[in-house]
Amino acid sequence: MVHWDSFADERDHALLLQEKGTFFVLQKILHNCQVLLTDHARTIICYSQAPYPVWIWTANDANAQEMELIYRTLKQHGLFEGHSFNLKPNVTEFFIQRAAADGVELAVKKNISVYNCPKPVAPTKMADGQLCKCVRENIPQMVDFMVDFHQELGDSTDRNMYRAEVESAVNEGRIFFWQNEGENVACCYVRYDGNLASVSMVYTCPQHRRHHYAQSMVYMVTKNVADAGYTPMLYADADYVPSNACYQTLGYTLCGRLCTIG
């Protein structure tokens, strides 16, 4: 019988450090979440808040019996009700088949490629404009960008929650815009954990796409954090070829894979 604890300690962090790029987000939310279940050895289940997925870390050699236990535990805690899940591909396959046996349809919503960037590579041509740090007067616009970003993903949106996130990140200097002719046309976040710097929420306004703004912005942010001594990393939709190709030209290399199911 597995004993689940509702707290994380050095054992959990040691497990995640073995795959610290792939489970960067899980490492960040371990001590700030609504649900945490861990046996400190083989499984970590963690849910922060809507609209974000439940994260599930499993040992690479997890067997069917362990996956069945995880499945039953999620059901017992009501986590199949309206949630999606980020997990490893082998566990994804088990969950989809197991849910089907219960008459529940689970499907892959997104295949995720995890990249890191040992050495940034400049694009062949930089876009017009420049990188700017988001300041307090930009907060309303950044909240609008976050709402639009999550709506495009089909997520639920909470403007008040986003505003709190943006205010905190602005105070820490972690949000950037690409600005052209005085207009903010694209944005991204940076989140730090140890020696890793995760570039996230890369978003370009629809009317300004196909001008390579995001590519130039991501390169400049990547170079800046690398010059500061961090290893840049990011998550990308594995099935969206243009963004993967963009990141690869900037020096990002594949280091892991995840699936989002729901």
262 residues of the chain, pLDDT tens digit each? 789 999 999 999 999 999 988 999 999 999 989 999 999 999 999 999 888 899 999 999 999 999 999 999 999 999 988 899 999 999 999 999 999 999 999 999 999 999 999 999 999 999 999 999 999 999 999 999 999 998 888 777 789 989 999 999 999 999 999 999 999 999 999 999 889 999 999 999 999 999 999 999 999 999 999 999 999 999 999 999 999 999 999 999 999 999 999 9
> What span, in angstroms and rounded, lies between the C-alpha atoms of 135 and 187?
12
* pLDDT value of residue 1: 74
* pLDDT value of residue 190: 97
pTM of the model: 0.90
Q: Nearest CA to 146 among 132, 134, 167, 163?
A: 163
Q: Is the peptide bond before 51 cis (omega within 30 degrees of 0)?
A: yes
What radius of gyration, in Å, describes the C-alpha atoms of the chain?
19
Query: What type of residue is 127?
Result: A
* pLDDT value of residue 2: 87
> What span, in angstroms and rounded, lies between the C-alpha atoms of 171 and 105?
42
CATH dotted code for 130-254 = 3.40.630.30
Question: What are the Cα distances from residue 225, in Å, to 220, 232, 260?
Answer: 9, 7, 28
Number of other residues whose CB lies within 10 A of the CB of residue 46: 27
* pLDDT value of residue 250: 98
Q: Nearest CA to 12 among 66, 56, 48, 77?
A: 56
For residue 195, report the phi and psi dihedrals to the nearest 5 degrees.
-95, 10
* pLDDT value of residue 218: 98
CB contact set of 198 (below 8 Å; sequence gap of 6+): 24, 25, 190, 191, 192, 232, 233, 234, 235
Residue extents of the structural domains in the chain: 10-106, 130-254
Strand partners of residue 231: 196
Question: What are the Cα distances from residue 50, in Å, to 87, 153, 185?
Answer: 17, 13, 27
Which 8-state DSSP code applies to residue 159?
H
